[in-house]
Structure 1
Amino acid sequence: MAEETKYNHTKVPKFDGYYEHWAMLMENLIRSKELWSLIEPGITVAPPDATAAQLQAIEALKLKDLKVKNYLFQSIERSIMEIILVRTTSKDIWDAMKHKYQGSTKVKRAHLQALKREFEVLEMKDNESVEQYFARTLAIANRMSAQGQTLQEVKVVEKILRSMSPKFNYVVCSIEESNDVTTMSIDSLQSSLIVQEQRMKRQVEVTNEQALKISNLKRGFGRGRGRSNGGRGRGRGRQSKEFVECFKCHKLGHYQSECPENEGNVHYAEYNDEEEMLLMAKTNQELKVNAIEPWFLDSGCSNHMICHHDWFIDFDNSHRDSVKLGDD
């Protein structure tokens, strides 16, 4: 009973059209069960004058042969099994499969040519990871080896390097310049590319996080900063905070920069009723680009500042206010 339970849980390889690979796995399975003698040489036909002991031994072999046939029945699809005319013993089935899928040189050559074409046009997909692409490439290379075409390791390395997705272009150039590709192993190449892939992912995560912070800052400064009633059309008059909504906690009475829920990790410009503080970009006086002082423009600003009076086309000399930059 224990032997039967163990037998029922045996994982049998499925025939997927690649005979050499399937035959290798099946032979290993049958040999591990000590049943390969049923395939080679097979069951001997009992002689006419067989003794009782000989007949008993042959019957025992036939019982074991049923187990091997059961493995083959599980492994081979019904459509293929139906075209095998003689299947009295496991040896009959094995020889029929060998004759059909291995015996024809023309079939093997056709399979190999198809695999070569698949290998030549192989390209890494944009959404594919390094590990996934290596697995797909090596699977084709192993099937080619099973058909008698063994690829040298350098051929696989060169193929992978020239077929990586465009985002790896600078990585490939760096690897080719700093290593001798002809002596580089597949495992070494895979390790290098995985390390670079992880760095690229971290850079994207940091960039996205920074973009989100900038977006939140812009929305925080823009919300609730309307002009006060009766104030100047062009300027930012002082206004009551009674109806100002905080963009962070959505409560009235304060701006996001003053929100008590802030964790103190963002430097906001200050604004209050006593003294108006305007958010401005700041540059050092020493900074010159081709003798032209640069401007840092914000298209959403009502007012702009520069130390050159003659640069303004429209200047309101009557408007006075205090300004505090982000660095205090």
Structure 2
Amino acid sequence: MKKIGVLTSGGDAPGMNAAIRAVVRKAIYHGIEIFGIKNGFQGLIDGNIEKMDTGSVGDIIQRGGTILRSARCDEFKYDQGQNKGIEQMKKFGIEGLIVIGGDGSFRGAQKLTEKGYPCIGIPGTIDNDIAGTDFTIGFDTALNTVIEAIDKIRDTASSHERTFIIEVMGRDAGDLALWAGLADGAESILIPEKQDELDEIIERLRRGQGRGKKHSIIILAEGVGSVFDYADQIKETADLETRVTVLGHIQRGGSPTASDRVLASRLGAQAIDLLLNGQAGKIAGIQNNQLVSHDISEVLAKKHTIDMEMYQLSKELSI
């Protein structure tokens, strides 16, 4: 394999640039030409492709976002769009493709592999919702952003003796909410995988009031439902003054943590190794701090699971 392409797709995540850097430099180390594809699969269809060198990825390891940019592309879900992408790869002589993104991005990679163009997926998403890997690129940075925000909100909650409900990202996965809630001592953590009854949440708040607690923090994952509805229900049922904070896209930005930079570098290099070893349709991952790979079809067929022992611990520590 002499020519390889790399693209980022779906939502951006801190550490994607570190992964791009690793892919480019590892490829060049092995004498492979590497091409960057701008704007994800849409850029592949449009032929927005350029050759990269070591200087192309200089001074980017510390930057958030993605220098290759990202875009949603409904057209690539269908044969016509996939075939357009293949024609562009033929034009540039690209023999393999590395896709950095989430499950939607991996479906595109799977389709290209089935059509004869070997792809390797690198999990990059703050949601940490990909099966077959303990962590995804961007999760640790987003988690630290959430924790920093909660720490500041707690100061206001204490000053005004209020209950704050904080919505975090994660789609249908509760990892961000669970890890942030445990790290910040939240009274309640609401996640899609295990939804507490409102009565249980209110009882926990009242127990805190009974021992003189003046404020409370509740973390809600966006996949649970409307944070404003929960706030209204708590106010009406428990007669507690509530405030809502939706952290939003601030969770996606910022310089990646050391953990995300190292993870991205390891997975980026591994992706090149997999292609050079004749592997196709694989996702690079990490489990128990060891690099692993799994078939894309296998990963997409499995549902990401939450650590329920951590969830139980958060309840025990919030008595």
**TM-score normalised to structure 2 length:** 0.22
Higher strand share: 2
Q: Which has the higher contact order (CA 8 A, sep 6+)?
A: 2
Larger radius of gyration: 1
